[in-house]
Chains A and B, each alone.
Chain A
Amino acid sequence: MASLGGSSSSSTEYIVRVPKNTSKKYSIMAFNSGDKVNCSSWTQARMERDMSNRRMYGVEETEEGAAGSEFGKKQREEARRKKFGIVTREFKVEDQPWILKVNGKAGKRFKGTKKGGITENASYYIFTQCPDGAFEAFPVNGWYNFVPQAKHRTLTAEEAEEEWGRRNKVVNHFSIMLQRRLREQERGPDDDDEEGEKGGKKKKKKGGRGGDLRIHDLEDDLELSSDESDSSGGEDGDSKPKKKEGDVKGKVKKKKKKKRGSDSEANEDSDDGDFEGLEVDYMSDESSSEEEVGEEKAKSNKEAVPKGIDEASESEEESEEEKQNEEEGKEEEEEEEGKKTPVQTKKKRDSSGESDTSEDSDIDGEAASALFMKKRTPPKRGGGRGSGGSSRTGSRPGTPSIDSASTSNTLRAAASKLEQGKRQVVGGSSESPAAKRLKMESSSTAVTTQSPAPSGKSTPQPPSGKSTPSSSDVQLTEEAVRRYLIRKPMTTKDLLKKFQTKRTGLSSEQTVNVLAQILKRLNPERKNVNDKMHFYLTE
């Protein structure tokens, strides 16, 4: 080491050596300074090549060996690939990324990807100073950019796109990841309850309905409106999650109730304009204070029981689609508290899809069908009756179950009455008012009449005691014919239509015979209307 003196400069000379026979290969490990990586703080580290890109020649193909393999398959595949010019890149271990794990299992993880092209035009050397003062220069073999690997869950590209599309609607971003996690859990355990419960505790947030909202416009509108009401001056995503903690439950439920109330008039799917107007009415109540959440909850608590019945009546008028819409949302609510919501949620369930259907939903379905003259298949009606309610209540704490039981009984009563009403008004004229009348009756009485049906069997017996052996909606009895003829004059053809062979279980010949006998017995009066012979009875 020679020192050269200069006037205002002093310099020292060092010898530079480039060792020839080094067995070590030098590489650069580059971290982004934003990650604030301090190597000296590492207690231990493990680093391995990431072999996940290795495509075993055999693995991707069908398995070797006897079963399922063809003779000469490998060669054929290779020939095929050559013909099409498919070139598979050779797997080079040196080019594979590194996986660096710092401080054991709980520590950070990094993935180091090789940066290409660093040795093409210039060479990098590492100059280290040796104890003897000379510098040693080692060529750099590879450059790896290390990025920290997220341990928290992230959205895949598809999911991210979806969420982006809904960014104006979803308020609670915390829930987005929640939804995803739950969806993954769904694919795991098959138990609905388990998943529902897990989800319920967490999915208190309005945004939790985000996943559900995706499916149905109605929910989206709900979400949108609640956003409007809650935000002061547009969306404020950041503050929202914090606010939402406890608020959402009371608010949303209230909102839903009110929505339903409004919907009962509108009676059908979302009209954006309608909702906007409606929301404004209720905004004043809601947005007035966040602190009043507790009060709101209390209110809704109190109102639960009487409201429940009202809801029941209202909801029955709603379309099935709406029910499906709110189904999932209700599921969560229900699990959350199990207090006010069971009534509403249970009703909402669509029995077709779920195994765990509640009585109420079935009954509601019946009511709706009565309302809209949809003919449901009989087993559907009977199924789940008596079974659903108990299983539902089983998953909730004791006290709420009593409430739900009482309300469910009420609903059952309502439904049974509806069925009766249905039979009587089957002529086709205004069923809705009749059904409504009955509903109002039942709701006002709030009687816990046990429906005679809950045998839990799939053959539904008509509750009014018209026991007939056949499991059909309409029985070909004298009573039935009498009823029809009293109401209005009918031709034989009309009568036959009423007793369709499918429903009565009789063949067409039998139907004709039985009907003829009945008519002989009844001996109705005849009248000619439009050149057709009509029968009628006067009582």
Chain B
Amino acid sequence: MSEKGEVDLTGAKQNTGVWLVKVPKYLSQQWAKASGRGEVGKLRIGKNQGKAEVEFTLNEDLTMIDSLGDKPSGVQAPRDHPFTMQTVGGQTLAVFTETQSGKEQISLEGLVVQRAECRPAVSENYMKLKRLQIEELSKPVRLSQQLEKAVTTNYKPVANHSYNLEYDRKKKEEGKRARVDKQQVLDMLFSAFEKHQYYNIKDLVDITKQPVSYLKEILRDIGIYNVKGTHKNTWELKPEYRHYQGGEEEEKETDD
């Protein structure tokens, strides 16, 4: 996805202020379950003897915690969450958004004026929730399990593997490679060398389906064998036959 680049700066210009709030994982999970318009709770901001107090109360219907496994957890998420307010401090935080759909657009939504942490009010519910979480996390990922009987289904002796049978059949069907006309072989070689410059003898045998010795003879005629260098043990066409960068077949054709 390539973003177009131009940033919409309306948010920055208006100096829109937003809050950055750190929310516990379980709470965000509960919020994801919200329905309808997405109302999740209420935020109460009060001034108590000069200090600002902020508290979030989770909606009743969102307090059911789902747990992994079959049995219902019976644990309820705590409802009260006071916010701890923090300063923005040593960082200037801005918020930007990218739209994903079709037209990519980056826009600056605003600046963070307040940081806060959402903490659960300590309660019985919360303790139960925590215990549940710990239990789930402490389960090992891998488990050793003892088996009653040894496993005997994996490797059984076989007269001949199916794979081998296939292979033999294929070989028989193909038969030995027959020599075709030299000219034809040359055609095949030239078209192959048009695609790539260096070839392994095995690959050429594969392409041309010729016996190795016959192919080698032909290759000795028109090509050279690279012993050293980066393209080790590869065949390439002789320079006079080469015409890379838009080579035409006619140029490489040779009459025998």
Which residues in window 75-110 of B have CB below 8 A to A? 89-101, 106, 108-110
Select which of B28, B98, B196 is within 8 A of A24 by beta carbon: B98
Q: Does B18 contact A (CB under 8 A)?
A: yes
Counting CB contacts under 8 A, is A187 at the interface? no
B49 touches A8 (CB 8 A): yes
Of residues 9 through 23 on chain B, the ones whose CB sits less than 8 Å from some CB of chain A are: 9, 12-13, 15-16, 18-23
Name the residue on B nearest A21 (C-beta).
B38
Contact A18 B38 (CB under 8 A): yes
Are A123 and B28 closer than 8 Å at their CB atoms? Answer: yes
Judge if A289 is at the interface, Cβ distance under 8 Å.
Answer: no
Q: Which of A125-133, A369-377, A388-396, A516-524 sits within the interface?
A: A125-133
User: Is A42 close to B, CB under 8 A?
Assistant: yes
Interface residues of A in 15-52 (CB under 8 A from B): 15-20, 23-35, 37, 39-40, 42-49
Are B15's CB and A13's CB within 8 A?
Answer: no
Q: Give B115 Cβ to nearest chain A Cβ, in Å.
A: 9
Asked whether A48 and B5 contact (CB < 8 A) given A18-B40, A124-B21, the answer is yes
B109 and A128 contact, CB distance less than 8 A = yes
Query: In this complex, what residue of A is CB-closest to B117?
Result: A122
CB distance from A322 to the nearest CB of B (A): 46
| Alpha-carbon gap, A126 to B47, bound state (A) | 22
Contact B9 A44 (CB under 8 A): yes
Identify the interface centre among A20, A27, A137: most chain B CB within 10 Å of its CB.
A137
| Complex: A9 Cα to B28 Cα, angstroms | 29
Q: Does A68 contact B (CB under 8 A)?
A: yes
Please count how many residues in chain B sit with their CB below 8 Å of the partner chain's CB atoms. Answer: 72
> A42 to chain B: which residues have CB within 8 Å?
9, 12
Does B94 lie within 8 Å of A39, measured CB to CB? Answer: yes
- Chain B neighbourhood of A15, CB < 8 A: 39, 41-43
B218-247 CB contacts (< 8 Å) to partner A:
231, 234, 244-245, 247
Give A44 to B8 CA distance when docked, in angstroms: 8
Distance of A238 from chain B, by nearest CB (Å) = 28
Stretch at the interface among A69-77, A203-211, A502-510: A69-77
Residue contact A25 to B100, C-beta cutoff 8 Å:
yes
Give the contacts of B161-200 with A (CB-CB under 8 A).
192-200
**Structural contact, A126 and B40, CB atoms closer than 8 A:** no
B7 touches A47 (CB 8 A): yes
Asked if B18 and A126 make an inter-chain contact with CB atoms under 8 angstroms apart, the answer reads yes
Q: Does A275 contact B (CB under 8 A)?
A: no
- In Å, the complex CA distance between A425 and B203 comes to 76
- Give Cα A73 to B197, complex, Å: 11
Q: Is B215 part of the binding interface, using a Cβ–Cβ cutoff of 8 Å?
A: no
CB of B110 to closest CB in A, whole Å? 7
Q: Size range of the interface on A?
A: 35 or more
Q: Are A40 and B44 in contact (CB under 8 A)?
A: no
**B109 touching A26, Cβ below 8 Å:** yes
> B211 an interface residue at 8 Å Cβ cutoff?
no
A135 near B: Cβ within 8 Å?
yes
Q: With a CB–CB cut-off of 8 A, which chain B residues contact A122?
A: 22-25
CB of A66 within 8 Å of the partner chain: yes
Chain A residues near B203 (CB, 8 Å)?
71-72
State A144–B99 Cα separation when bound (angstroms).
Answer: 17
With a cutoff of 8 Å between Cβ atoms, the chain B residues found around residue A8 in the complex are: 48-49
Q: Main SS of chain A's interface residues?
A: strand
Cβ of B99 and Cβ of A46 under 8 Å apart? no
Does the CB pair B199–A139 fall under 8 Å? no
Contact between A11 and B53, CB atoms less than 8 A apart? yes
Chain A contacts with B in 464-495, Cβ cutoff 8 A: none
Contact A68 B197 (CB under 8 A): yes
A67 at the interface (CB under 8 A from B): yes
B 138-158 binary contact with A (CB < 8 Å = 1; else 0): 000000000000000000000
Q: Which of B39, B47, B200 contacts A9 (CB 8 A)?
A: B47
Residue B111 at the chain A interface, CB threshold 8 Å: yes
Tell me, yes or no, whether B250 is within 8 Å of chain A by CB. no
Residues of A within 8 Å of B192, CB to CB, are: 71
- Give the residue name and chain of the A residue nearest to B36 (CB): A20
Main secondary structure of the interface of B (DSSP, over half): strand
Query: With A15-B43, A40-B12 known to touch, is A24 a contact of B97 (CB < 8 Å)?
Result: yes
Is there contact, CB below 8 Å, between B3 and A48? Answer: yes
Set of chain A residues within 8 Å of B56, measured between Cβ atoms: 16
Report B-chain residues with C-beta under 8 Å of the C-beta of A16. 39-43, 56
A10 within 8 A of B: yes
Contacts of A135 in B (CB 8 A): 43
Bound Cα distance from A164 to B179, whole angstroms: 72
- Are A45 and B100 within 8 A (Cβ)? no
Whole-angstrom distance from the CB of A450 to the nearest CB of chain B?
57
Q: Are B40 and A10 in contact (CB under 8 A)?
A: no
Taking the closest CB of chain B, its distance from the CB of A200, in whole angstroms, is 43
Query: Assuming A19-B38, A40-B13, A122-B24, is B46 touching A71 (CB within 8 A)?
Result: no
Q: Which of A10, A28, A125 has the largest count of B CB atoms less than 10 A from its CB?
A: A125
The answer to whether A13 touches B44, judged by C-beta atoms less than 8 angstroms apart, is yes
**Contacting residues, chain A, for B245 (C-beta < 8 A):** 67
Most buried by B among A11, A23, A73: A11
Query: Given that A25-B97, A33-B91, A71-B196 are contacting pairs, would A47 and B19 also be in contact in the complex, using a CB cutoff of 8 Å?
Result: no
B251 at interface by CB-CB < 8 Å: no
Verify if B255 is at the interface (C-beta below 8 Å from A). Answer: no
Q: Is the CB of B195 within 8 A of A66?
A: yes
Asked if B197 and A18 sit within 8 Å, CB to CB, the answer is: no
B residues less than 8 Å from A35 (CB atoms):
92
CB < 8 Å neighbour of A123 from B25, B34, B100: B25
Q: Is A177 an interface residue (CB 8 A)?
A: no
Q: A90-117, CB under 8 A of B: which get 1 and which 0? A: 0001000000100000000000000000
Q: Are A26 and B200 in contact (CB under 8 A)?
A: no
Shortest distance in angstroms between B195's beta carbon and chain A's nearest beta carbon? 6
Give A24 to B25 CA distance when docked, in angstroms.
21
Contact call A13/B199, Cβ cutoff below 8 A: no
Closest to B107 in A: A24
Nearest CB on A from B94, distance (A)? 4
Which residue from chain A places its CB closest to the CB of B59 in the assembled complex?
Answer: A16
Whether B160 sits at the interface, judged by CB under 8 Å, is: no
- A76 → B minimal CB distance (Å): 9
Report if B126 contacts A (CB, 8 A): no
**Partner of B47 from A10, A24, A68 at Cβ < 8 Å:** A10
Assuming the contacts A20-B38, A124-B23, asked whether A31 and B48 have C-beta atoms less than 8 A apart, the reply is no
Q: Is A124 a contact partner of B22 (Cβ separation < 8 A)?
A: yes
Please measure, in the bound complex, the distance between the C-alpha atom of A40 and the C-alpha atom of B108, giving whole angstroms: 10
List the 7 closest A-B pairs by CB distance, nearest first. A11-B46, A39-B12, A9-B48, A67-B244, A127-B19, A45-B7, A123-B28
A39-B92, A100-B7 known; 19 new pairs, CB 8 Å cut-off, are: A9-B46, A10-B47, A12-B44, A13-B45, A25-B99, A28-B93, A29-B94, A29-B95, A29-B96, A30-B92, A39-B12, A39-B111, A45-B7, A67-B244, A68-B198, A122-B22, A122-B23, A123-B24, A123-B28
